[in-house]
Amino acid sequence: MRLKDKVAIITGGSRGIGYAAADKFLKEGAAVIVTASTQGSADRAVTKLKEKYPDAIVDGISPDLASLESVRKAFKEVTGKYGCVDILVNNAGISESTPFMEYTEETYDKVMDLNVKGVFTATRAAAECMVARGEGVILSTSSMVSISGQPSGFAYPASKFAVNGFTISLARELGPKGIRVNAVAPGITETDMMKAVPREVIEPMIERIPLRRLGQPEDIANAFVFLASDEASYITGVILSVDGMARS
């Protein structure tokens, strides 16, 4: 087990990539705390995970990721119960496809509050005990559009460009303190949202991917497990593309 006895918090862990990461982390021996936008969503995810891993430590919380005070309070309760956070996965986020000339300030703020500020608040709260202890791993979900951009919904790629800058800069700052900071940039991934897209729309997407398939949440989760493990002990400041080269 590559993550045995590690304590991990995974934001946006109730579904999709976050849920797949929680599943993989538990399989690898970690204690996992998932966050969700509501406590009900967090509790439902915990129930499902406990059914699969009855002997594992798994819990759920629902802080407001746009509020540092809310996140600090929730994370302090977690560390009080389970000990210092060894691994943080900043996965919570929302996508956007609104044309630029239709963008409102509210739409922009909604994306940035979760995709960028949420990464800051969770990392700031989790890093406190990591810095004090002199070790830890911080991971974030970026996107292939942080490399290639996208033709509409500019705030989403802009937010993921910010995640990349955050990752690389923090890796430099926190490396001397024993903390590794990396990100995973998924491509087109078959989450519940993607499953609702008609096949006639998906097929042309697949044709443009050199590996000729959509990514699965497990593909991204596997990358997170690797980067969280000691196998990646000399890797920091990396934005790892897991996209079948779809970005090209």
- Please list, in sequence order, all residues whose beta carbon lies within 8 angstroms of the beta carbon of residue 15, skipping any fewer than 6 positions away: 41, 45, 191, 192
pLDDT at 115: 97
Residue 197 carries which DSSP code?
Answer: S
If we measure between CA atoms, which residue out of 206, 116, 105 comes closest to residue 156?
116
Please tell me the distance from the alpha carbon of residue 194 to that of residue 196, in angstroms, as a whole number. Answer: 5
Please tell me the distance from the alpha carbon of residue 53 to that of residue 203, in angstroms, as a whole number. Answer: 36
Q: Is 156 tagged catalytic?
A: yes
pLDDT at 248: 57
Helix (H, G, I), strand (E, B) or coil at 34: strand
Q: And the tokens for 190?
A: 């078959």
pLDDT at 246: 85
pLDDT at 200: 81
pLDDT at 193: 65
- The alpha helices in the chain, defined as continuous H runs, are 16-27, 39-52, 68-82, 105-112, 118-133, 145-148, 155-174, 192-195, 199-207, 217-228
User: Which residue among 53, 108, 156, 234 is the active-site one?
Assistant: 156
Residue 36 carries which DSSP code?
Answer: -
Amino acid, res. 212: R
User: Could you read off the pLDDT tens digit of each residue along the chain, which spans 248 residues?
Assistant: 999 999 999 999 999 999 999 999 999 999 999 999 999 999 999 999 999 999 999 999 999 999 999 999 999 999 999 999 999 999 999 998 899 999 999 999 999 999 999 999 999 999 999 999 999 999 999 999 998 888 889 999 999 999 999 999 999 999 999 999 999 999 989 887 676 667 787 888 889 899 999 999 999 999 999 999 999 999 999 999 999 998 65
Domains defined for the chain, CATH in brackets: 7-242 (3.40.50.720)
